[in-house]
Copies of this chain bind each other. A is one copy, B any other.
Amino acid sequence: MRPTVHDIAAEAGVSLATVDRVLNKRPGVRAVTRDKVERAIETLGYVRDVTAANLAKGRTYPLVFIVPAGDNSFMRGLEVEVRAAIARSAAERTEITILSVPAFNPQALAEALEEAHRRQPAGVAVVAIDAPEVTAAVKRLRDDGIAVVTLVSDLPGSARDHFAGIDNIAAGRTAGNLIGRFLGSREGPVAVLAGSMLVRDHRDRLEGFHAVMRDHFGARALLPVIEGQDDAVLAQKLVAALLAAQPDLAGIYSLGAGNRGLVAALETAGKAETICVVAHELTPYSRAALVSGTIDVILNQDAGHEVRSAIRVLKAKADGLPVIAAQERIRIDIFLKDNLPNGQA
């Protein structure tokens, strides 16, 4: 049987309360006494039973998640994962509230952060927009002792505690490498379809993509970026125009959402098979297009992992505990039709 607080109390010749005080680094213990207890902890090899501690504390963590509204499938999937986390609230001692905000609207996001602030939660997770008013709102939260984690899209240079998302520069590089190699010696330019340069993740992906294309596939022409606002209808219109204007288009990197529109345009133009397409995020639509062959590769971030990581980090920060960075790293998944998971999405 592993040692308990009783054992260390006996070993040190003190009471339970004193042991608890040094265990939780609370004041009101003489240095000598503290030493005795710490020695006992050491010699007995005591490790605290966290679940028992939580049971006794009865502590819960009120958290707020701020997620963009709209019909972006990835964001809807993200919200599903947050709701799944809500379903686990009891076991995880969390109380999660979801705040929905219009997409690509810095003003609205800043207001949502204020709303979150008013609720005085232990932490806030937010899909960020890279804008000064957002950075300012995050700072106010932090100044008030509320932990902040950016989710999916980061806010570098802000006071946020942590970013729960993928390395988007690496994602862009991966896309470039795959498109470059898949096209091989085949002729024709490559286009990029983005959502908006207002969000950091899209900017980073573009940067990584351009870097690889420049360094390793310099002969390949790159067309100017198209911004589809992550909107399926707009994306379809823009891509249709692109296909008409560039009959010899060889590849498309779709680094944002709106893949439904992209796929529709490709299929309408009868180009589904011939153009090499690398897209982001595994959703029911993109999945179908991968299986049918319209999309060749999907780069994905696991929204479930991101949400669970954000919660772990938020709880740790709220308790002033350190975070094991390596454990919280979100991986860039690569899916071909052959390694598609059978499950959800």
Instruction: From B173, B338, B343, give the contact of A338 (CB < 8 A).
Output: B173
Residues of B within 8 A of A176 (CB): 338
Q: Among B170, B182, B334, point to the contact of A181 (Cβ < 8 A).
A: B182
Q: Which B residues touch A51, using CB under 8 A?
A: 51, 54-55, 91
Q: Among the listed stretches A110-118, A156-164, A251-259, A325-333, which one makes contact with chain B, having 4 or more residues with CB under 8 Å of it?
A: A325-333
A90 at the binding interface (Cβ < 8 Å)? yes
Contact of A332 among B177, B182, B184, B339 (CB under 8 A): B339
Residue on B nearest A337 in the bound complex, by CB: B177
Is the beta-carbon distance between A336 and B334 smaller than 8 angstroms?
yes
Interface string of A308-345 (1 = CB under 8 A from B): 00000000000000000010010111111111011110
A contacts with B: majority SS: helix
**Which residues of the partner chain B approach A338 to less than 8 Å between Cβ atoms?**
170, 173-174, 176-177, 208, 212
- A185 near B182: Cβ-Cβ < 8 Å: no
Closest residue on chain B to residue A212 by CB atoms? B338
Number of A residues, CB within 8 Å of B: 39
Q: How many copies does the complex hold?
A: 2
Q: How far is the CB of A98 from chain B (nearest CB, A)?
A: 20
- Looking at the complex, which one of B171, B335, B339, B343 makes contact with A339 (CB distance below 8 Å)? B171
Contact A333 B336 (CB under 8 A): no
* Contacting residues, chain B, for A86 (C-beta < 8 A): none
Shortest A114–chain B CB gap in Å is 29
On whether the beta carbons of B339 and A49 are closer than 8 Å, the reply is: no
A178 located at the interface, meaning its Cβ lies under 8 Å from any Cβ of chain B in the complex: yes
15 contacts between A and B (CB under 8 A): A51-B51, A51-B54, A51-B55, A173-B338, A176-B338, A178-B336, A181-B181, A326-B342, A326-B344, A329-B342, A331-B333, A331-B339, A332-B339, A333-B334, A334-B336
Q: With A181-B181, A326-B343, A333-B333 given, can you name 13 additional A-B contacts, CB distance below 8 Å?
A: A49-B91, A52-B55, A55-B55, A173-B338, A174-B339, A177-B336, A177-B337, A184-B184, A329-B342, A331-B341, A334-B334, A334-B335, A334-B339
